[in-house]
Amino acid sequence: MTAATTDAIELEAPDIGPYRAGNTGIEYAWSFEAAEPGPHVLVNALMHGNELCGAVALDFLFRRGFRPRRGRLSLSFANVAAYRTFDPQRPAASRFRDEDMNRVWSPEALGGPRGSAELDRARELRPLFDAADLVLDLHSMQNATAPLTLCGQTARARGFARRLGFPGWVVADAGHAAGRRLIDYGRFADPQGAAIAILVECGQHWERAAAEVAIETTLRFLVLSGSLDAADAAPWLPDAPPPAPRVVQVVEAVTVATDRFAFAEPYRGMEIIPRAGTVIAHDDDRPVLTPHDDCLLIMPSRRLAKGHTAVRLGRILP
């Protein structure tokens, strides 16, 4: 079955042409330095060309003239080539040109001989990410489900996501069999390191609420990092602080093995399956079972291709 979703296009893709020149030597990448010392903070949008909310959030920052109080603030639009092809009549088609840009962040891929539109762009952006101390990578999801933060596997990223406090779910996972994400790249994934990268899934791709979540998350991220003062962001944030987030440890990422993968129900994501051993899908004739009681289904995919993640199975932590 196909997962339930809403595909109404409620967002307008902002014109990012005015940001093309950049000021870093990399097109569509900007960096601003404050007089006071502080970390190098980077907000990235458009890792996937059809995920509009991040572009809306960066456009919001540019239009309102935000500049860091401390350290350096960088803003980057990643897969611009794919974004340029966005068509509201075929909105999912602009996810990438040649391959998923959030699966190429390994030394083997970045340093190897293979080329693609996404690899070439990742190589252009690599020096910027290599220099960053804190990265927020803004994404959106196929299904209309609760926003969440993916923090990878380091304790420091998990702690930062919890202190950020928004969105209301923090998910610790090991990524995908198909390739490495930006948050799993280099210094960000080094257990002994200090650099932090988190990925926030702001909601369904084209819902207006996803852009609202992206803007709120970005402002909270900049305040927590010290780049902005709380007063700078206050006009656009709710008066009350968000409730403490719930933390989830992914225990299994189910990878599609055949061309005959199908979910047992039209899952949207964040369903809690009460009993261990419940069949949630079949991969050809092999049942996919929940590994424990109260298993959380995270981001069940509608792109059920061999080698790609079908769903993550998570345990909600105390």
pLDDT digits (tens, 9 = 90+) for 173-228: 999 988 999 999 999 999 999 999 999 999 999 999 999 999 999 999 999 999 99
- In this predicted structure, what is the pLDDT of residue 8? 87
Distances (CA, A) of 315 to 169, 174, 272: 12, 14, 10
Topology of domain 17-236, CATH: Aminopeptidase (3.40.630)
pLDDT digits (tens, 9 = 90+) for 104-134: 999 999 999 999 999 999 999 999 999 999 9
pLDDT digits (tens, 9 = 90+) for 32-91: 999 999 999 999 999 999 999 999 999 999 999 999 999 999 999 999 999 999 999 999
Band of the pLDDT at 303, cuts 50, 70, 90?
Answer: confident
Token pair recorded at residue 233: 């962001």
Backbone angles phi, psi at 169, to 5 degrees: -125, 135
- pLDDT, the chain, mean: 95
- In this predicted structure, what is the pLDDT of residue 135? 98
The model's pTM is 0.94
Judged by phi (left if over 0) then psi (alpha if -120 to 50, else beta), residue 110 lies in alpha
Distances (CA, A) of 249 to 25, 253, 317: 39, 11, 7
Q: Domain-by-domain residue ranges, the chain?
A: 17-236, 248-316
Pairing of strands 70-77, 29-33: antiparallel
CATH classification code of 248-316: 2.40.50.630
17-236 shares its CATH topology with 248-316: no
Predicted confidence (pLDDT) at residue 156 exceeds the cutoff of 90: yes
